[in-house]
């Protein structure tokens, strides 16, 4: 099965700053990569699919990119509602495994 490795495990960011999260797949997943944001006590919310397409209603400050098996989620100017845990997930192969998450916390 494909292993998804996210880094860093924790990211401390000040509101208004840029945040860059990474996700690496153990083998090719093409562009079949999604990013989700989860706040405590809530279900994950789809942010990005197809490595770089924003889901409906997602602000433009969220962007995704791909370089081979390396994927990046960038939040251009972090807002208070953006804190929480971010997961990447490949859906190229079954089972569609998630990474272990990056926790974005207030600096």
Partner 1 sequence: QVQLQESGPGLVKPSQTLSLTCTVSGGSISSGSYYWNWIRQPAGKGLQWIGRISTSGSTTYNPSLKSQVTISIDTSKNQFSLRLSSVTAADTAVYYCAREWGPADYWGQGTLVTVSS
DSSP 58-77: --TTEEEEEETTEEEEEESS
76 phi and psi angles, rounded to 5 deg: -70, -40
CA distance 102 to 11: 7
Question: Per CB under 8 A, does 5 bind partner 1?
Answer: no
Contact 65, 51 (CB under 8 A): yes
- The nearest distance, CB 97 to partner 1, in angstroms, is 7
Cβ–Cβ contacts within 10 Å for residue 42, how many? 9
- Of 65-104, which residues contact partner 1 (CB under 8 A)? 87, 89, 91, 94-101
**Binding window for partner 1 (CB under 8 A); candidates: 11-19, 21-29, 37-45, 68-76:** 37-45
Interacting span for partner 1 (CB under 8 A) from 7-15, 18-26, 38-46, 65-73: 38-46
57 binds partner 1 (CB under 8 A): no
CB nearer partner 1, residue 17 or residue 105: 105
* DSSP characters over 26-52: SS--TT-EEEEEE-TTS--EEEEETTT
Select 72 or 91, whichever has its Cβ closest to partner 1.
Answer: 91
Using CB under 8 A, list all residues that contact partner 1: 1, 32, 34, 36, 42-46, 49, 55-56, 87, 89, 91, 94-101
């Amino acid at each position: 099965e494909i292993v998804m490795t996210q880094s860093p495990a924790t990211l401390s960011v000040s509101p208004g700053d840029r945040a860059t999260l990474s996700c690496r797949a153990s083998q090719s997943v093409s562009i079949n990569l999604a990013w989700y944001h989860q706040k405590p006590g809530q279900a994950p919310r789809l942010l990005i699919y197809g490595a770089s397409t924003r889901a409906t209603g997602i602000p433009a400050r969220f962007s995704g990119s791909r370089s081979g098996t390396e994927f990046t989620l960038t939040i251009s100017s972090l807002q208070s509602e953006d804190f929480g845990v971010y997961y990447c997930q490949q859906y190229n192969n079954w089972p569609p495994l998630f990474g272990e998450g990056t926790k974005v916390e207030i600096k």
